[in-house]
């Protein structure tokens, strides 16, 4: 799909997040005008303050939509429905939504987008590989000891770079309208497997210790994790990480015509970039 679409300005919601920043960088490299939308942007954008939506949407022709803190949280489905309607009212037709694999509430939000009349694309993603390098589990990797509430469950970790590549294709190329791309990595791994891959890439020992859900959440609360993020973590741990995602999907291949990046490739690159070096 080499023919480009003139998108004008593309709104990137969550433009400083794991996928949003990557989407924005790729769009800018293509010469696309990008408008970042977050609580810290100008104009500011806040999912819980609808008065901020019109200024962010005005004049943009497409949007990459990431809902904070997660599509599984209360109010997300209604927000996606109303944001989509407002976007179309302002002339924005092309909407690309990042969704969560195995989350019924996220699938309900997808359905609202699909009914909106937009030229929609859904990128339904599993657990990010970058959760080991850029947020939740990164401090444990750096310290050499990871604790998390997952034991034998298998997960097809997806590289955020693959998510961004799929989203940018959907925003800039024809043929992705009305497509749901369920994206995963190329193999199933336990969290212990992933940590072992990272240890190999870094050349130093890193251990993994599974905890009960209650023990992990109590520790996270004691470490000062905000309550809204704790609620998302609890959902992921108690429901989504119950084995429901223990199968692969071919969304990356469908969208890009190539296989997804392997977790080992992610680990080698992150190690080479020094992401797990102690300060």
Q: Which residues contact 214 (CB under 8 A, 6 or more apart)?
A: none
pLDDT at position 1: 42
Task: Please tell me the predicted confidence (pLDDT) of residue 189.
Answer: 98
Task: Round to whole Å and give the CA distance between 186 and 193.
Answer: 14
Q: Kindly report the CATH number assigned to the domain that includes residue 115.
A: 3.40.50.720
Residue 4's pLDDT is: 57
Asked if residue 4 belongs to a domain, the reply is no
User: What global pTM score does this model have?
Assistant: 0.96
Name the domain count of the chain.
1
Does 42 map to a domain?
A: yes
What is the domain range of residue 15? 9-127+158-184+246-261
Tell me, what DSSP letter sits at residue 134?
S
Q: Is residue 238 part of a domain?
A: no
- Residue 225 falls within a domain, yes or no? no
Instruction: Average pLDDT across each block of 10 residues of the chain; the chain has 279 residues. List them in order.
Output: 67 96 98 96 94 97 96 95 98 97 96 98 97 95 97 98 98 98 98 98 98 96 90 91 97 98 98 91
Q: Distance of CA 125 to CAs 61, 76, 163, 199, 223, Å?
A: 24, 17, 8, 25, 27
Q: Which of 232, 197, 210, 58 lies closest to 147, judged by CA?
A: 210
Query: So what's the pLDDT on residue 135?
Result: 87
Q: How far apart are CA 225 and CA 270, in angstroms?
A: 24
Residue 175 Cα to chain centre, angstroms:
22
In a domain? residue 276:
no
Q: Is residue 94 part of a domain?
A: yes
Per-residue tokens: 107? 């699938």
- Residue 8, both tokens: 């004008």
Per the structure block, which two tokens stand in for 217? 């959440």
123 in any annotated domain: yes
Domain-located, residue 138: no
């Amino acid at each position: 799909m080499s023919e480009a679409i003139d998108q004008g300005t593309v709104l990137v919601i969550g433009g400083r997040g794991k996928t949003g920043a990557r989407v924005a960088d790729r769009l800018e490299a293509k010469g696309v005008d990008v408008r970042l939308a977050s609580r810290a942007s100008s104009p500011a954008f806040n999912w819980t303050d609808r008065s901020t939506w019109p200024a962010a949407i005005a004049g943009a022709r497409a949007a990459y939509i990431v809902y904070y803190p997660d599509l599984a949280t209360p109010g997300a489905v209604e927000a996606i429905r109303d944001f989509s309607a407002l976007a179309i009212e302002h002339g924005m037709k092309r909407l690309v939504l990042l969704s969560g694999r195995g989350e019924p509430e996220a699938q309900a939000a997808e359905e609202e987008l699909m009914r909106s009349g937009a030229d929609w694309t859904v990128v339904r993603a599993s657990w990010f590989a970058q959760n080991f390098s850029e947020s939740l589990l990164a401090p444990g990797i750096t310290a050499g000891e990871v604790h998390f509430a997952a034991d034998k469950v298998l997960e097809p970790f997806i590289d955020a770079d693959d998510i961004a590549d799929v989203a940018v294709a959907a925003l800039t190329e024809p043929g992705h309208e009305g497509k749901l791309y369920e994206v995963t990595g190329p193999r199933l791994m336990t969290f212990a497997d992933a940590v072992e891959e990272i240890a190999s890439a870094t050349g130093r020992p890193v251990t993994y210790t599974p905890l009960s859900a209650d023990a992990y959440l109590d520790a996270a609360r004691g470490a000062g994790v905000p309550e809204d993020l704790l609620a998302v973590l609890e959902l992921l741990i108690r429901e989504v990480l119950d084995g429901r995602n223990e199968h692969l999907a071919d969304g990356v291949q469908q969208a890009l015509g190539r296989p997804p990046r392997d977790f080992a490739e992610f680990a080698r690159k992150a190690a080479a970039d020094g992401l797990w070096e102690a300060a």
